[in-house]
Structure 1
């Protein structure tokens, strides 16, 4: 069986950083499979990594990429040691500022594609395999001005918690990674200037991924980087949603 790690959204940001760091955790991988739309960025990543890389360039909102991956998984008799669902995007602005295509596009990529990729890979996962889902600290409460994105990350968080419970006893672990703002290309595509408070709390992608991999290796359900984000997680359990909404609305100004 071919031992692989599969990473979506590997052309940039946290997905790209996971591809760089995973070989340090799994030193006996046969290949790393990377999935993203920008083939040229994946080719650059392949040149950088010492582990053999298999490139799947395509749109995760289209059927063909899953068919291609499904065939490759079967032919390779793949043993998926780690699946990292890192593909996703967000648009800053009120719900009415963007058309339905943009809003549902976030839902499709952040939720639907993550769910489909997980379902595709699970039959090829075994005891000791890990699923790492990129959620966000935005999952901890509703966010006016970032409403759809925060809602999609709440879905990822909830799914990760429930799936982890369902897989209990199988030796397959699920970790939801919930960072706050991270210094990546993500905010270059949000459509608006980022609030100054979010800029202030931006974390380094290398540190976020390093902690996520350590937490995944330890079988933790969540990986939350930074004291401020951990405080936000605790607050979300005790503070009413109405208060969280008011605070997040103020931060977004």
Structure 2
């Protein structure tokens, strides 16, 4: 049985991957979707060209991993694509977020880094030549970001982990792509805080375009997918300018 696995599938970019994947991979038998909001996952049956199998659960809890590991052992599927789309961010200084809720930043690390890694580890034995892994990073991964410090650090982890894993899996013919969008018009900002920066508002894009390019870049075997000219410029600038200068520009005080 050929399948895809998508985390964070109940909303935003993860949901968009499920909607588009059937157009790119027509020989999939099922898409296994993982998220907390089961009612949102049930709606995907109407939106996907491929049958959906729901694994409802919180990736910060043990139960969902037990479900996934049990299913993988019982079904022994050929995972043609893994999309780690689950994640969240919270804007504000480290101290501000600590005062608001001391657990938030630890949960951000847990979901963005630990859960992404653990799902990857679970699925690795079921990947075969030609399989793809797509890891949702962010343009925030390109450099440190004051007032977004923990989120940017978690996405830097995702980018580094993805590129290293891709190099390790190259001999097996398995491709890993880190997707690094800027602001995307999704429910993300309901959690992170509304977008106030006028420049970021200007460069905000739709999830459909980000996902389409990610799937195309994955097909081409690219290790990184950056959507849109502004984010491509930001990626180039992050490689040319010292991070100390970028930090000064972002936080002149």
TM-score, normalised on structure 1?
A: 0.96
Q: CA RMSD in A?
A: 1.2
Gaps of 5+ in 1: none
* Post-superposition CA distance 1:176-225 (Å, at most 9, x none): 00000011111111135432211110011101000000000000000000
SS in structure 2 at match of 1:202: coil
Indicate if the aligned counterparts of 2:195 and 2:201 stay in contact, CA closer than 8 A: no
Aligned equivalents of 2:152, 2:190: Cα separation in 1: 18
TM-score, normalised on structure 2?
A: 0.96
State the 1:75 CA deviation: 1.1
Instruction: Judge which range, 47-56 or 137-146, deviates more.
Output: 47-56
* Post-superposition CA distance 1:93-132 (Å, at most 9, x none): 0000122311111000000000000000000000000000
Aligned equivalents of 2:35, 2:241: Cα separation in 1: 38
- The correspondence of residues 167-186 of structure 1 with structure 2, limited to 5 A, is 167-186=169-188
- The correspondence of residues 18-37 of structure 1 with structure 2, limited to 5 A, is 18-37=17-36
Q: Does 1:142 align with 2:155?
A: no
Instruction: Judge which range, 190-199 or 63-72, deviates more.
Output: 190-199
Q: Which residue among 154, 157, 172 is the counterpart of 1:155?
A: 157
SS in structure 2 at match of 1:62: coil
Instruction: Judge which range, 238-247 or 161-170, deviates more.
Output: 238-247
- The correspondence of residues 66-105 of structure 1 with structure 2, limited to 5 A, is 66-99=65-98, 100-105=102-107
Task: State the match for 2:212 in structure 1.
Answer: 210
Indicate if the aligned counterparts of 2:129 and 2:174 stay in contact, CA closer than 8 A: yes
Indicate if the aligned counterparts of 2:3 and 2:31 stay in contact, CA closer than 8 A: yes
Task: State the match for 1:39 in structure 2.
Answer: 38
Aligned equivalents of 1:220, 1:93: Cα separation in 2: 33
- The correspondence of residues 110-129 of structure 1 with structure 2, limited to 5 A, is 110-129=112-131
Q: How many residues align?
A: 250
Gaps of 5+ in 2: none
Aligned equivalents of 2:49, 2:84: Cα separation in 1: 22
